[in-house]
Amino acid sequence: MWSVVVHGGAGVWSESEKFSAVKDTILKSLEAGASVLRAGGSALDAVVESVMVLEDSGVLNAGVGSYPNLLGEIEMDAGVMDGKSLRAGAVGCIRNVKNPVLAAKLVLEKTDHVLLVGEWASRFALSMGLPALNSDRSKGLLKYRDLVRRFEEGDTRYKSNLALYKQYPHLFHETVGAVALDIEGNLASATSTGGLALKLPGRVGDSPLIGAGTYADSNIAVSATGIGEYIMLLGVGVRASQYAENGLPANTVAEKIIALLTSRFGINSGGLIALDKNGVIGISFNTPGMARGYYSSEMSEPYAMVP
Ligand code: ASP
């Protein structure tokens, strides 16, 4: 049996005009992962293919769609983990690379490290031949700082967005992630993000931190989304692995993790996708929405839900 589960971020999901584009993207991402798995490919390759589709979509907060930091610059994070070998690769605060998930995979495959950050992560990825993020985008970002200032002062035609932003300052996030089980019974996880909107330059979130936002072993694979600081503080990935080691199925693991997140940090703090070695799927979130979907060898077509 094979299976793949993806998310497009837990959050407010206020722009309904985006829903159908996001749903199409989730379906394409599931198909990309499924075609690897159907052909007997590895769970690791499948999650990377799925996440690349999400990064390239431009409608989610990862890759080309990444939110800028407070200075209007794009700094992205990504992590991948192979449950079979317990090897992982990740990049933090990477700039100018189109697919951070591929950079993370290269860290896993080509280095003796788990996490590369900042300028040298970008240099590493570009010198390994990864394509750059389209530089045209930076022109549009020049005005960003001024726009943020005007937005916060209330000088905006987006009155509802402003109210939402003031009510949920952290919740403008639509990180992406995937977990997969291949026909050999191996699990893998990948997560990629532009991080929280208006984050401080240099901030690294939970997604590239193995054991926090991304984790996979021989029992379970998880990818988290939400306020990265909280996900780190609870060590979500490692905790999920411990629950699974104690025999809990992925659906119970996801529910327990989100219940814990809610009890410690309140609602609107995050979401989790999980997949265990028996193919049980877990999806849970405490935000108004989370784009999500799954596809397995037992299903005739992929399933996606937004928000
Ligand atoms: N967890 C991500 C971060 O804190 C944000 C998100 O999930 O949208 O960087």
Site to substitute for ligand 1 among 12, 196, 268, most atoms within 8 A of C-beta: 196
Distance 198 CA to ligand 1 centre (A): 12
The span from the CA of 228 to the CA of 197, in Å, is 12
- Does this model's pTM top 0.75? My answer is yes
Distance 226 CA to ligand 1 centre (A): 5
pLDDT in tens, 160-217: 656 655 655 544 557 999 999 999 999 999 999 999 877 788 999 999 999 999 999 9
Which residue is catalytic, options 25, 175, 225, 287? 175
User: What does residue 7 show for φ and ψ, rounded to 5 degrees?
Assistant: -135, 155
Q: Which fold has domain 3-71+147-305?
A: Glutamine Phosphoribosylpyrophosphate, subunit 1, domain 1 (3.60.20)
Q: Could you count the other beta carbons within 10 Å of the beta carbon of residue 89?
A: 28
Q: What is the pLDDT of residue 200?
A: 85
Q: Which residue numbers in the chain have pLDDT < 50?
A: 138-140, 170-171
Give the ligand 1 atom nearest the CA of 225: 7
**DSSP secondary structure letter of residue 130:** P
Distance 183 CA to ligand 1 centre (A): 30
Q: What is the pLDDT of residue 147?
A: 61
Q: What is the pLDDT of residue 140?
A: 46
């208006």: which residue's tokens? 198
Residue ranges lining ligand 1, Cβ < 6 Å: 9, 61, 173-175, 193, 195-196, 205-207, 213, 225-228
Q: What is the pLDDT of residue 134?
A: 73
């799954």: which residue's tokens? 294
The span from the CA of 164 to the CA of 58, in Å, is 22
Site to substitute for ligand 1 among 225, 265, 269, most atoms within 8 A of C-beta: 225
Distance 11 CA to ligand 1 centre (A): 10
**DSSP secondary structure letter of residue 65:** G
Q: What is the pLDDT of residue 146?
A: 62
Q: What is the pLDDT of residue 144?
A: 62
Q: What is the pLDDT of residue 206?
A: 98
Q: Is 175 a catalytic residue?
A: yes
The order of strands in the sheet holding 281-285 is: 214-216, 220-226, 270-276, 281-285
What is the domain partition of the chain in residue ranges?
3-71+147-305
